[in-house]
Amino acid sequence: MDGRDTIAAISTPPGEGGIGIVRLSGPDALRISSEIFIPAKGKRPAKVKSRRMLYGLIADPKTGAGIDEVLMTVMPAPNTYTREDMAEINCHGGALPLRKTLELVLRAGARLALPGEFTKRAFLNGRIDLTQAEAVLELIRAKSDMAEKAALAQLKGELGGRIKGLSDRLAGLRAHLEATIDFPEEDIETGAGAEFADRIEDIREAVNALSRTFEEGRLLRDGVKTAILGKPNVGKSSLLNALLGVSRAIVTPIPGTTRDVISEYMNLGGHALKIMDTAGIRKGRDRPELEGVKRSLEALDEADLVLCVLDGSSGLEKEDFEVMERIKAGWKRCILVINKTDLPRAWPASSVSGRLSEPSGAAERDAAGAVPVSAKTGQGIDGLKEKITAGFRDGLGPAESGPVITSIRHASALEGAAGALGRALEAMRAGMPPEIVSIELADALHELGAITGQVSAEDILARIFEEFCIGK
Ligand SMILES: Nc1nc2c(ncn2[C@@H]2O[C@H](COP(=O)(O)OP(=O)(O)OP(=O)(O)O)[C@@H](O)[C@H]2O)c(=O)[nH]1
Ligand SMILES: [Mg+2]
């Protein structure tokens, strides 16, 4: 805390709102608040000993001109977000009161905060570890209930605690090993024993297990990428609109209407779905259509889930089978959707049965599991949503328990740690001197420490916090 200056920022988003907040943190926060605040009655902020909300007026101390009528939350250290003295001035939520209040605060000696600087101070002052600081951002950006839940668990320290537990175990093993190096004459159980190796192996397995949750974490954070694919005019854009419940994509009876991928987020059963409507796949008639088809295939490439749409009211064509072939070749998880069921059926489900089934036998890939819908009347759309949600329980979504890795930074540090542990084990098996093993263990510890911020380079901190908004 010592030596840090006092920072201030408008912490609420720009625009008009019921209230807007100017936030201060640092050794002068209470003095500055006192200088610009005239309490309606009672104490000035600097005299307040415990957290309190005061009512009064923000006024220019030089001219006495009033600026806004506010509620000021005064929070003396250490039980605050940053562990420093803090004040939050609840202004009326307009651009002018907020800007003028901030100007007064700056004139009285505060400095404009950098992005994420409040949270950075919470980290530097030891209130939270780095995983918790990052969780703040994830919580702000969460697009689904599940993502929010994961971010909250991380904010509560679940991931940090798990990493710290592993670090402690590893540090214990390394200390033991170091003792055998420093005092070879002492009768310390040799570090090269099989039991020692087993313990390192255990830690490596735990690191790997955590690493493996990254795929789930990506689905959580970015949403399950769901591409709607099919030949032109089968009703892909209509299906997007029906799923979203709003008319987002252009629908016309002319095949080749959609030319570009349109993506929207939707929430389904607590999960985020990034749903992509694509151009109908066929041999392009012109440059824009060719480009559109190329993008459809790119969407297929990056999709976690494909909704393959067929038109149940008109005959199946070569183009339908080609689309199914491509999905099958990409090993994509797929739900077959038979659209336009409000019209008479032109072909039986058996015509496509087995088309998408795989040797692995994933049920969704079989036409037996095809979902009939009418994007026009909405019939069957709920059934389709249920089928998608069922996929979440079946590997497309996160597991219910334990921390989930959502950050690529954490994932690569875990990978680094697992690599170092692997090298330590190899060195032991090859009968290398304990010094070598110890260096690898130190490397692994360094990687784990970087996750929680026990060891942190300034450039890493800068990269993390610059992603925050100002005032957080
Ligand atoms: N009767 C009926 N018509 C539908 C249904 N879904 C879509 N249509 C019609 O089918 C035509 C094509 O619909 P779109 O949603 O534009 O089809 P698309 O697959 O996006 O077509 P492209 O963008 O050209 O590839 C339009 O005239 C829709 O009104 C449905 O469930 N029932
Ligand atoms: Mg379309």
276: which strand partners? 227, 263
Report the CATH number that the domain containing residue 369 is assigned in CATH.
3.40.50.300
Residue 125 lies in a domain: no
Are residue 386 and residue 297 in the same domain, yes or no?
A: yes
Residue 289 lies in a domain: yes
Best probe residue, ligand 1, of 238, 260, 291 (max atoms within 8 Å of C-beta): 238
- Cα(244) to ligand 1 centroid in Å equals 15
Report the CATH number that the domain containing residue 44 is assigned in CATH.
3.30.1360.120
Report the CATH number that the domain containing residue 432 is assigned in CATH.
1.20.120.430
Per-residue pLDDT, 184: 67
Nearest CA to ligand 1 atom 9: 235
Per-residue pLDDT, 37: 97
Residue 221 lies in a domain: no
Are residue 372 and residue 303 in the same domain, yes or no?
A: yes
Q: Is 248 in the pocket of ligand 1 (CB under 6 A)?
A: no
- Cα(362) to ligand 1 centroid in Å equals 28
Are residue 263 and residue 359 in the same domain, yes or no?
A: yes
Residue 100 lies in a domain: yes
Closest CA to 166 of 198, 214, 207: 207
At 40, list the tokens.
């309606």
Residue with tokens 């668990």: 153
- Cα(302) to ligand 2 centroid in Å equals 19
Best probe residue, ligand 1, of 231, 233, 247 (max atoms within 8 Å of C-beta): 233
Per-residue pLDDT, 190: 53
Are residue 92 and residue 150 in the same domain, yes or no?
A: no
Residue 142 lies in a domain: yes
Nearest CA to ligand 1 atom 6: 235
Residue 471 lies in a domain: no
- Cα(77) to ligand 1 centroid in Å equals 62
Neighbours of 257 (CB within 10 A): 17
Name residues whose C-beta falls within 8 Å of residue 72's C-beta, 6 or more positions apart in sequence. Answer: 33, 37, 45, 53, 54, 55, 56, 87, 88, 89, 90
Q: Is 257 in the pocket of ligand 1 (CB under 6 A)?
A: yes
Are residue 248 and residue 389 in the same domain, yes or no?
A: yes
Report the C-alpha gap between 450 and 463 in whole angstroms: 13
- Cα(249) to ligand 1 centroid in Å equals 11
pLDDT tens sequence for the chain (472 residues): 445 899 999 999 998 999 999 999 999 999 999 999 999 988 888 888 889 999 999 999 999 999 999 999 999 999 999 999 999 999 999 899 999 999 999 999 999 999 999 999 999 999 999 999 999 999 998 888 888 988 999 999 999 999 999 999 999 999 988 888 877 665 555 555 788 999 999 999 999 999 999 988 888 888 899 999 999 999 999 999 999 999 999 999 999 999 999 999 998 888 889 999 999 999 878 888 899 999 999 999 999 999 999 999 999 999 999 999 999 898 888 999 999 999 999 988 778 877 765 444 443 344 457 899 999 999 999 999 999 988 877 766 655 578 889 899 999 999 999 999 999 999 999 989 999 999 999 999 999 999 999 887 787 888 888 888 888 8
Are residue 175 and residue 234 in the same domain, yes or no?
A: no
Report the C-alpha gap between 137 and 471 in whole angstroms: 12
How many domains does the chain divide into? 3
Q: Relative to the CA of 373, which ligand 1 atom is closest?
A: 31
Are residue 304 and residue 267 in the same domain, yes or no?
A: yes
Nearest CA to ligand 1 atom 7: 235
Name residues whose C-beta falls within 8 Å of residue 391's C-beta, 6 or more positions apart in sequence. Answer: 305, 333, 335, 364, 397
Residues around the ion ligand 2 (C-beta < 5 A): 236-237, 257-258
Closest CA to 341 of 383, 367, 381, 372: 372
The last residue of one of the domains, among 396, 416, 437, is: 396
Residue 49 lies in a domain: yes
Q: Is 374 in the pocket of ligand 1 (CB under 6 A)?
A: yes
Are residue 411 and residue 355 in the same domain, yes or no?
A: no
Residue 205 lies in a domain: yes
Are residue 412 and residue 391 in the same domain, yes or no?
A: no
Are residue 109 and residue 159 in the same domain, yes or no?
A: no
Nearest CA to ligand 1 atom 17: 235
- Cα(258) to ligand 2 centroid in Å equals 4
Q: Relative to the CA of 256, which ligand 1 atom is closest?
A: 24
Best probe residue, ligand 1, of 243, 246, 251 (max atoms within 8 Å of C-beta): 251
The last residue of one of the domains, among 365, 396, 427, is: 396
Q: Is 234 in the pocket of ligand 1 (CB under 6 A)?
A: yes
The last residue of one of the domains, among 81, 113, 145, is: 113
Residue 203, domain extent: 132-213+407-456
Are residue 263 and residue 190 in the same domain, yes or no?
A: no
Q: Is 431 in the pocket of ligand 1 (CB under 6 A)?
A: no
Residue with tokens 């709920």: 382
Report the C-alpha gap between 186 and 334 in whole angstroms: 63
Per-residue pLDDT, 395: 66
Per-residue pLDDT tens over the stretch 360-417: 444 334 445 789 999 999 999 999 999 998 887 776 665 557 888 989 999 999 999 9
Nearest CA to ligand 1 atom 8: 235
Sign of CA dihedral 351, 352, 358, 360: negative
Are residue 385 and residue 444 in the same domain, yes or no?
A: no
Report the C-alpha gap between 216 and 332 in whole angstroms: 16
64 by DSSP, 3-state: which? coil
